[in-house]
Chain A
Amino acid sequence: MTVFLLRRLLQAAAVVLVMSLLVFLGVYAIGDPVEILISPEADQIERERAIRALGLDLPLWQQYLVFLGRALQGDLGRSFVFNEPALQLILQRMPATLELAVGATLVALVIGLPLGLYAGLRPHAPVAKGILAGSILGFSLPTFWVGLMLIMVFAVQLGWLPSTGRGETVTVLGMRWSFLTRDGLAHMVMPALNLSLFKTSLVIRLTRAGVRETMLMDYVKFARAKGLSPARITFVHVFKNILIPVVTVVGLEFGGTIAFSVVTESVFAWPGMGKLIIDSINVLDRPVMVAYLMIIVLMFITINLVVDITYSLLDPRVRLEGKS
């Protein structure tokens, strides 16, 4: 286990280094932040001052080395726009995105697993076909459109839920969470639902496929022959075996949700990291863009590790120390 973790950490460090270079070059290629940030009224002298103030007068390789040197000390740079440490800005926004992503994943599991299980056990029932057709909609409808429709129906027409924004928050562990208040939950329902739509469809399909495949296995037949109850076969023997692909995909999807919930967050004016990154891209706030992508890289590395460890818990045949 220790060797495995060490090797993973080394790999992670290499990936982070390569990513930092790629991200830095990519962000550099997009455009000139001074042209975007500076007031149109600014004259030539003011432009030159701004270029120096933002450290953009140095050649690219020097800018990168400055960035790298600071990053090693835990400083990912200061936002051009907010004049605050980029890392701090992102971490401030993280709880909002995190609770949305967790909410969406929970919804996907709570709805997706039972429906998928049913569709897998009774593949020819009309309801199962309905579930499958519904999951196609979940895959193919664009998120921003569904989000706007949710707002139009539940906020504008029915008036049941608030249209946009984050509700009341409670501070726990120095971070603001909204899922602990009634108002906060009400604000969370629609964005979480919107974000979970794609995931729910995914879980339904994965579960259904897994169940259909497993039901034909010898050990299921044997269990039946032995006279085990259908409930025990389904929930103990089948269910445990189909969980591995579901856990993998949900884990990776969870990372994706945190990193790229941009559309949902901007439609619902949800003040999370996705909204921060899209706002930062619009004004070419390079330090925030770079810091954000670095954090996302680290997050994916962590999630992959957690998924691997979960495997070993779910399936004793998987050994973490296994030689490559």
Chain B
Amino acid sequence: MVGWFRAALCGAILACGLTPATPCRAQTLTIAVGAPVTSIDPHYHQLSPNTAVAQMIFSGLTATDGHARLVPELAEGWRPVDATTWEFRLRPGVRFHNGSAFTAEDVAFTFQRVPNVPNSPSSYAIYTRPIREVQVVDPLTLRLTTASPYPLMPTDLASVMILDAETHAQATTEGFNAGPMAIGTGPFRMASHRNGDRIAFERNDDYFGARPAWQRVTYRMITNDAARTAALLAGDVEVIDQVPTSDLAKLRGDARLALSEITGLRLIYLALDHARREATPFATDGEGRPLPRNPLQDPRVRRALSMAIDRGAIVERVMEGAVIPAGQFLPEGSFSHVPDLAPTPYDPEGAKRLLAEAGFPQGFRLTLHGPNDRYPNDARIIQAIGQMWTRAGLRTAVEAQPWTSFVARAGRQEFSVFLQGWGSSSGEGSNPLRNLVATPDREKGYGASNRGRYSNPELDRLLAAAMQELDDAKREALLQQATRLAFEDVGILPLHIQKNSWAMRKGLAHDARADELTRAQDIRPAGAAR
């Protein structure tokens, strides 16, 4: 009986088109993720875990691959018709999970809904706002008009999941969370959802893309790092994400497990107070009196701070090799990465000389602030930097605090030097340039996360030119120039770029994603075709 059942199951798996090398086992997968999913409504709360789940149920016009490069999804192709019009050709024959056909009208409906989701704490309207007019040319052709040239349109639309005009006309966020509205065009259907605990998926056999290897997927949220690792070791789950750096070595040595890893898009950096010309609150002289002028205004001081950091030591000792040292926003291989912009080498003597040149032969006192529960080992990173700076003649105190209170104070510019992280979700340079170093400007929406208030007119000019440039090669060159400017002037002080890692039982293969998303369609039995 059991043998007969196994044979039938094997037959079923073979019929699914997997190679015969696939071990004969049930097509179920259990994943444990470290960050809770807060909403199934793909337009309610913009948050990485929500995006990961949304991409399992829904699809966008465009998408990004594991290396954050743009790829077609519901749109087969796109091109600028003129300076302010984008045309998207849609994929024919796509159906939603309930059988409803996907057409250009659904896209138009989606762009209507995105800015109008009630009570949204963080909406996706920033991606649809540049669109002035949506023109449905025919059921499979769509034209989007913008007020000014907007080269990032296809990139931005990777974040907007398309809903069905008929099904979702009255859909509420509660309707998505409860299940009935969780209907998309993605590789999985949602079978059930227990808020903050687990989500069950079933394969969508009508999916237009590559067929996922799993009939059923359970997506569990285990926020405690040690418990997540233990669940994998106990065999209760088969894949975990956000592997704690302290467990990496142990898991790598375990013959029952495999790891997958990729250099991510999250830069850890120090923001510097550029706003105050006079005294900055946490830079004081030897007696603790505030310095009369802000030393961080002097580029030589900023460069000295960077030279006094031993990035190699942080990578090796604090992060146990789970990061790469950084000299700019994005890792090698990304759009607008600057090839010859290397991380600043460790040079404490040079740093002392520069400080003396800037008028601080005796150094000064500094307090370095940072969160202690946000980024991997964040508090230990700033402790290490505090020691390095003290060695270079800057007596540094370190203050780490919970993210909830830290971020509010950082937003009010209460600090002089503080640790931050930035994930460039679009995988190209305009995103960090606009948000982190462009002069804050409400109308343009620039510099919203520029908490140190760095401002450089030349950089703003290059960025503005890049944001009007539809030609990819020319735009990349402009972004590279702007990036070079930001880091040669030490607008922010880059430390390292995180690697993302997943651990799984042996016999599974995973296409790791630079954008940190954990999705079941990226996991398959080892040896199975992609």
Q: Which residues of A contact B (CB under 8 A)?
A: 30-47, 49-50, 53-54, 78, 80-84, 89, 92-93, 148, 151-152, 155-156, 159, 162-166, 266-269, 271, 275-276, 279, 281-284
Contacts and interface: CB of A to CB of B under 8 A. Distances in A.
B404 A164 contact: no
Contacts of B404: 30-31, 36, 281-282, 284
Contact of B197 (A53, A271, A282): A271
Contacts of A89: 195
Given A42-B448, A54-B119, A83-B118, 19 more contacts: A34-B121, A38-B122, A39-B46, A39-B122, A41-B435, A42-B122, A46-B126, A46-B445, A50-B121, A54-B121, A82-B195, A148-B227, A163-B231, A163-B234, A164-B230, A165-B236, A269-B197, A271-B196, A282-B404
A78 B435 CA distance: 31
B422 interface: yes
Interface residues of B, number: 56
A40 B436 CA distance: 10
Interface of B: 36, 38-39, 41, 44-47, 118-123, 125-126, 129, 173-174, 177, 194-198, 220-224, 226-227, 230-231, 233-236, 373, 403-405, 407-408, 411, 422-423, 425, 431, 435, 440, 442, 445-446, 448-449
Contacts of A30: 404-405
Nearest to A158: B234
B125 A46 contact: yes
Nearest to A187: B236
B242 to A, nearest CB: 14
Nearest to B445: A43
A155 B236 CA distance: 9
29 contacts: A32-B407, A34-B121, A35-B407, A36-B403, A38-B46, A38-B121, A40-B423, A40-B435, A41-B126, A44-B445, A44-B448, A46-B126, A47-B448, A50-B120, A81-B38, A82-B177, A83-B39, A83-B41, A84-B173, A92-B195, A148-B227, A155-B234, A155-B236, A156-B233, A163-B231, A266-B223, A267-B224, A269-B222, A283-B38
A115 B498 CA distance: 53
B449 A40 contact: yes
Given A54-B121, A156-B233, A32 B435 contact: no
Given A40-B422, A159-B235, A165-B198, A31 B123 contact: no
Contacts of B174: 83-84
Contacts of B223: 266, 269, 275, 279
A164 B231 CA distance: 7
A276 B408 contact: no
Contacts of B405: 30-31
B403 to A, nearest CB: 7
Counting chain A CB atoms within 10 Å of each CB, which of B39, B126, B230 scores highest?
Answer: B230
A148 B425 contact: no
A274 to B, nearest CB: 11
A258 B475 CA distance: 58
Nearest to B421: A40
A32 B408 CA distance: 6
A293 B396 CA distance: 40
Given A40-B435, A43-B446, A84-B177, A152 B230 contact: yes
B120 to A, nearest CB: 6
Pairs of residues from A and B, 9 with the lowest C-beta to C-beta distance, nearest first: A43-B445, A271-B197, A39-B46, A37-B121, A155-B234, A163-B234, A269-B222, A44-B442, A31-B408
B221 A269 contact: yes
A159 B196 CA distance: 26
A33 B407 CA distance: 10
Given A37-B45, A81-B38, A45 B233 contact: no
Nearest to B448: A43
A319 B194 CA distance: 47
B121 A81 contact: yes
Contacts of B119: 53-54, 78, 80, 83
Most buried by B among A80, A89, A148, A164: A164
A30 B403 CA distance: 11
A39 B440 CA distance: 17
B197 A165 contact: yes
B407 A36 contact: yes
A148 B230 contact: yes
A35 B411 contact: yes
A37 B446 CA distance: 19
A267 B227 CA distance: 6
A162 B198 contact: no
B122 to A, nearest CB: 4
